[in-house]
Structure 1
Amino acid sequence: MSVTTTFKHVSYLWDEEKAAALAGDEVGLLIYRSNLLGADLRLTNYGGGNTSCKVFSKDPLTGEETEVMWVKGSGGDLGTLKRSGLAALYVDRLRRLKSVYRGIEHEDEMVELFNHSIFDLNSKAPSIDTPLHGFLPFKHIDHLHPDAAIAIAAAKDGKRITQELFGGTIGWVEWQRPGFDLGLKLRQCLDENPGIRGIMLGSHGLFTWGDTAYESYINTLEVIEQCSAFIEEQSKNKQAFGGAKISSLPKEERVKQASALAPVLRGFCSSSLKMVGHFTDDEKVLQFINSKDLDRLAPMGTSCPDHFLRTKISPLVLSLTPGEDLSDVQAIKEKLAPQFEAYRKMYTEYYNSCKHPNSPAIRDANPVVILYPGVGMFTFSKDKQTARVAAEFYINAINVMRGAEAISEYTSLPRQEAFNIEYWLLEEAKLQRMPKPKALSGRIALITGSAGGIGKAIAQKFADEGACVVINDNDASRLETAKEFFQKKYGKDVFTGVVLDVTSSKDINAAYDAAALAFGGVDIVVNCAGLSISKPLEEHTEKDWDLLYDVLVKGQFLVTQAGVNTMRKQDIGGDVLNIVSKNALMSGPNNAGYGSAKAAQMHLSRLNAAELGKDRIRVNVVNPDAVISDSKIWEGAWAEGRAKAYGVKVEELPAYYAKRTLLNEIILPEDIANACFVFVGGLLNKSTGNVLNVDGGVATAFVR
């Protein structure tokens, strides 16, 4: 299998050995091809595009051979597609639906009828693009949203350019919302232009095909390569976006500005629903936001429906200078508030002017994409993945605008067409079918000492409940192990990790900056980092005393202080949870430094609760006891000291602690994590200044 084309602008990833192992399995080859196409973001975004193949299979009802189309189902992603993500339909039944089609004003009703064409009962729900593949006769079909192709499709004279560039071998279908009728238009285009190798969809994307999976793959790459090469050639003597209007700040200063501003932006964007943020200062973004054409192009919005659905009608361009002083948070909020109000007003007017009698209610009017010239792009959405993907889609939109401007003039979707996509009843139905958000969805938690023990268990519990977590530890190697664990279990969009010594203001500020850059801010601060020293009074040193108070008391104070600073920038409330100890309430031998430091932590929590209520920041305490599992506290001298104090062996400590409790239970890190979730899970939003003992029941430690 020889490749005659040299690919410069797309990635040729076909592996003959892997493909040979799938010989005879057309569906397997479809999945393989789809994964290769989805791996290159220049070809299509996460969740964008769809692919198909048609094969003959035995009908389980008649035993006769029948043609079946396997096509990416609703909501799938090409890069990660598996067989379970495909829909399989009888081709003849799907095509016979033309006889009951009542016209374009009724085409949405056809989607439900797709289910009557299902061949495989384990099929994914068929997508709206199903007829676009079904009405074309080719065995293998790719529908992608390549930047280069959409740049031509979104150009003012894209049809002429397509005709001239491909010499009539690529057809053209004017913009139309995806659906049954567009499928008929594709077939009409093919009938009127026999022998073409693909079809360009105005403002939308590209259809290409082949008789085999490989032929379709190569055809797709060749067409996109030709589009890309043409745009590159036309761009040689032109400045992108009219050239630079301003210069970017140096990298370090961009990051500093972004981390300082992100929580403020998150607060504005979370006026209806808590949002999670993403920041990028990708060179493509900087070129666009620093350009002379920014003010003209940004309000136009995107062209491709997939881009638009992820990024909204248009971005918000901030009226801030690149090096603006952000230290006066109130002044910055006063400067930004009118800009957000203007955006919300624009969006509301857009909704009211375009809505239909049966349109869904207006959704959140806040922007998804926020551009800060000279600094970068922020995106905000319901979770990190959606915010990150929105940024990827807008970068694709930037690529499209750059290409279209290089070869002609960029055009976006008309506002009414954009509205019809955004508030499409079928899209609304899809949104309504999505799982209910988890209790901590949209929340961001920083848990100190979270590379192991109680802290790690809390971070896991919060991540399981939908939160993004900032894990940290003063032990870099332990942190790396924890990061590997979180990466494997949750993936990159759920956590970030930083080295953090809670006695270092520099480390603490860096941790909150990392949280702001990764997720937009912080909602929950859990002070869990700790250590223990158990010695008789006469053996306790000044160094021991200072270390305990620095880590436990000063550390809690500094981490809370910096966390509250971030929460006040957001102005959407928050939670501080302090993991203290039953030793804050009861006295025991050989414990003067640790016990008194824990008592200080407890009262500091009360003081903070009294002060921060006006900011809607709740401060509560969880008091564990004897949580030995995976805890560094119980390594070495502490365990030996406690065993000596109680007259038992070190290995007998777990049973000893359990027997002295009312419930005779060993306390695990997961028990403390569950208690923390009780405070932040939504049922105790009007509780602050509380103490929850999780010690198996120690009567002398009851709060009184």
Structure 2
Amino acid sequence: MLARSRRLGADPRNTNYAGGNTSAKGTATDPVTGGEVELLWVKGSGGDLGTLTGQGLAVLRLDRLRALREVYPGAEREDEMVAAFDHCLHGRGGAAPSIDTAMHGLVDAAHVDHLHPDSGTALACAADGERLTAECFGGRVAWVPWRRPGFQLGLDIAAVRKTDPQAIGCVLGGHGITAWGGSSGECERNSLEIIRTAGAFLAERGRPRPFGPVIEGYEPLPSDERRARAAALAPYVRAAASADRPQVGHFTDAGVVLDFLSRAEHPRLAALGTSCPDHFLRTKVRPLVLDLPPTAPLADAVARLKELHEEYRAEYRAYYERHARPDSPAMRGADPAVVLVPGVGMFSFGRDGQTARVAGEFYVNAINVMRGAEAVSAYSPIEESEKFRIEYWELEEAKLRRMPAPAPLATRVALVTGAGSGIGRAIAHRLAAEGACVVVADVDTAAAEAVADELGGPDRAVAVAVDVTDEERIGAAFDAAVLAFGGVDLVVNNAGVSVSKPLLETTAADWDRQHAIMPRGSFLVSREAARVMAAQGLGGDIVYIASKNAVFAGPDNIAYGAAKADQAHQVRLLAAELGGLGIRVNGVNPDGVVRGSGIFAGGWGARRAALHGVPEEELGAFYARRTLLKREVLPEHVANAVFALVGGELSHTTGLLVPVDAGVAAAFLR
């Protein structure tokens, strides 16, 4: 069963992420009686078929599950049955039973699959889906009218299986498909037969332009222009999605999205909303659609986006008020989860990178469903009142309450320069561990990519190549950041280089190189960060990794010390200027970070060791001995200070420079 589940879940044509479930029935030894007991193994609540493991299964006793038919209080109270599933569990551990457990347990078949393929869901959401299902499958697949997932739906499907033994499965109106079989292989074959037969039927019977003709002026922009336009719009779009609570974003300009948005029927279809329950739980009842051509002036597009956002919020509040009952959960927020921009692409949003990406994938599923339904009939999703019942289902609310508390930096997007090694790498790791999505920026592309992989890949971290002396490349790095995660909230100016020479040996080139990378580079990065943060309207943090040398005067250090002093004063200047935007600017003054430091590894360590008359391998210990605490400073200690500044506890602090030097009295701030 697990192998079947992973095969089905790995192909997006079969089901969406975390959508659908599979099951198997069998016997096992009851550890209490020693006798045989019939059991059901079924994918639990919230799991994903493509990555399903044994721990993701709920295990229930079939005799107790089937006995629930005798106490079932009817469709109006069927939510109570989910709690009853807990009394049917066999043993400890495993996943919580999902709302679809009844479908699997009550159907008289050894193996059952419930899936949401685009092809099957297109038939399920067609205006005359019952007739089309009969035409498509010739009686091998039954039709079950829309019913909200639950115990009654399980009874309905069980009745189909009992009264029509020739059927291999059914199309569930407004929802998806269910298939069964006597063996795991038969069940999988039946599922794939339904999916592929439906796909072939839509392809052969469908009209060629189900979304209508192309709207003049709404054609996709050329690739480079399209992504530049998306990057320019992204902070404003994120502001619209984050008015109630901050969200992480994701952008796609996939061909299926661009084609849909170029066609005459896209406004009508988008307004109808998404289709099966798994879709609108993640995409909300409908998307926000920017109704301007992609060549409209950017200022006009931003102004129109703000108008549409206000209209969307008012309409969503009205939707909630139309259908909410006294016992309905409170409205979770009135901002869109999906924003569509003709000629450019789709922005989707969620509580983290994965959730944002998956919301976009679900809307692509919805587009595919619309195309299939419109090709052979008319797209006719379930009634708005039913969508509300699903979106504000108490069972879904309970699932949300069971989720762990968000990490301190959840929904925040951090860009760290010089993050491919040393202090920057440690900062990137700490911010990611605290829940941030991280943009790993470094002049060394391979190093940046390695760190991004360490942090968990594209849902959690992306690598960008950036030379902080190059304004164009800095702009490109921020463009990449906002396209990956919707925006930027937290920037760490860490990129640095050092040359240790006495005054008479320091060349103008030495001076220019250090000042170009550190004070000038930090200025350019901070300027771009402030532009994005101002557009988002969510505040933000800028942190400078300066140095003890910003305030301590030592020999053979003129270029580096002066560059760090410049950075330290930028902290004060920008804190004063950006405070009105809610942007806090702080800094860290490390000292003696030898182990793991990119600067020290680049020759600085050897020169400083020679200056102090100690072997290079003992330089860290030498620095530790001269401190008040007699402790060596590591990159992780600097990362800890960055988190202390941005983690939320110092929300009213700006313009601060935090020493991380184990105590150097001569560098005390005055």
TM-score range, shorter chain: over 0.9
Do structure 1's residue 243 and structure 2's residue 213 form an aligned pair? Answer: yes
Match of 2:448 among 459, 479, 485: 479
Matched with 2:121 is 150
Do structure 1's residue 214 and structure 2's residue 185 form an aligned pair? Answer: yes
Supply the distance in 2 between the matched residues of 1:578 and 1:277 (Cα, whole angstroms): 26
**Residues 292 and 301 of structure 2 are in contact (CA less than 8 Å); yes or no, is this contact kept in structure 1?**
no
* 2:59 counterpart SS class: strand
Matched with 2:370 is 401
TM-score (norm 1): 0.94
Do structure 1's residue 366 and structure 2's residue 338 form an aligned pair? Answer: no
**Residues 624 and 693 of structure 1 are in contact (CA less than 8 Å); yes or no, is this contact kept in structure 2?**
yes
Matched with 1:413 is 382
Matched with 2:233 is 261
1:304-360 Cα distance to aligned partner (Å, 9 max, x none): 00011111110100123212232x4xx654332211000000100000000111001
Corresponding letter in the other structure for 1:406: A
Supply the distance in 2 between the matched residues of 1:112 and 1:335 (Cα, whole angstroms): 47
* 2:199 counterpart SS class: helix
Do structure 1's residue 283 and structure 2's residue 255 form an aligned pair? Answer: yes
**Residues 589 and 645 of structure 1 are in contact (CA less than 8 Å); yes or no, is this contact kept in structure 2?**
no
Of 192-201 and 271-280, deviating more is 192-201
Query: Where in structure 2 are there 5+ consecutive unaligned residues?
Result: none
1:561-600 maps to which residues of 2 (within 5 A)? Answer: 561-600=527-566
Do structure 1's residue 101 and structure 2's residue 67 form an aligned pair? Answer: no
* 2:386 counterpart SS class: helix
Matched with 1:228 is 199
Of 398-407 and 244-253, deviating more is 244-253
- Name the % identity: 52
Match of 1:668 among 625, 634, 638: 634
**Residues 290 and 304 of structure 2 are in contact (CA less than 8 Å); yes or no, is this contact kept in structure 1?**
no
Of 117-126 and 365-374, deviating more is 117-126
Query: Where in structure 1 are there 5+ consecutive unaligned residues?
Result: 1-29
Matched with 2:144 is 173
Supply the distance in 1 between the matched residues of 2:219 and 2:603 (Cα, whole angstroms): 57
Corresponding letter in the other structure for 1:247: E
Distance 1:159 1:525, change over 3 A: same
- Displacement of 1:542: 0.8
Matched with 1:25 is none
Matched with 1:633 is 599
- Displacement of 1:649: 2.0
Do structure 1's residue 443 and structure 2's residue 415 form an aligned pair? Answer: no
- Displacement of 1:257: 0.6
- Displacement of 1:291: 0.7
Supply the distance in 1 between the matched residues of 2:202 and 2:301 (Cα, whole angstroms): 41
Of 41-50 and 194-203, deviating more is 194-203
1:69-92 Cα distance to aligned partner (Å, 9 max, x none): 100001110000000000011111
1:408-435 Cα distance to aligned partner (Å, 9 max, x none): 1110121100000000001001001100
Supply the distance in 2 between the matched residues of 1:411 and 1:222 (Cα, whole angstroms): 24
Corresponding letter in the other structure for 1:242: G
1:313-392 maps to which residues of 2 (within 5 A)? Answer: 313-326=285-298, 328=299, 332-392=301-361
* Alignment: residue pair count: 668
1:212-267 Cα distance to aligned partner (Å, 9 max, x none): 111111111111111000000012x4213112223111111111110110011111
**Residues 249 and 353 of structure 2 are in contact (CA less than 8 Å); yes or no, is this contact kept in structure 1?**
yes
Matched with 1:15 is none
Supply the distance in 1 between the matched residues of 2:326 and 2:262 (Cα, whole angstroms): 41
TM-score (norm 2): 0.98
Do structure 1's residue 308 and structure 2's residue 280 form an aligned pair? Answer: yes
Do structure 1's residue 428 and structure 2's residue 428 form an aligned pair? Answer: no
Do structure 1's residue 605 and structure 2's residue 577 form an aligned pair? Answer: no
Matched with 1:681 is 647
* 1:309 counterpart SS class: helix
**Residues 87 and 120 of structure 1 are in contact (CA less than 8 Å); yes or no, is this contact kept in structure 2?**
no
Distance 1:56 1:510, change over 3 A: same
Matched with 1:20 is none
- Moved runs in structure 1, 4+ residues, more than 4 A? none
CA-based RMSD of the aligned residues comes to 1.1
Distance 1:94 1:636, change over 3 A: closer
**Residues 95 and 135 of structure 1 are in contact (CA less than 8 Å); yes or no, is this contact kept in structure 2?**
yes
Supply the distance in 2 between the matched residues of 1:491 and 1:132 (Cα, whole angstroms): 36
**Residues 620 and 690 of structure 1 are in contact (CA less than 8 Å); yes or no, is this contact kept in structure 2?**
yes
Match of 2:480 among 500, 503, 514: 514
Matched with 1:53 is 24
1:500-528 Cα distance to aligned partner (Å, 9 max, x none): 11101011001000001101110011000
1:574-607 Cα distance to aligned partner (Å, 9 max, x none): 1100000001111111111111111111111111
- Displacement of 1:636: 4.8
Supply the distance in 1 between the matched residues of 2:451 and 2:31 (Cα, whole angstroms): 50
Supply the distance in 2 between the matched residues of 1:322 and 1:145 (Cα, whole angstroms): 33
Supply the distance in 1 between the matched residues of 2:24 and 2:627 (Cα, whole angstroms): 65
Distance 1:157 1:446, change over 3 A: same
Supply the distance in 2 between the matched residues of 1:307 and 1:499 (Cα, whole angstroms): 36
* 1:447 counterpart SS class: strand
Supply the distance in 2 between the matched residues of 1:55 and 1:612 (Cα, whole angstroms): 65
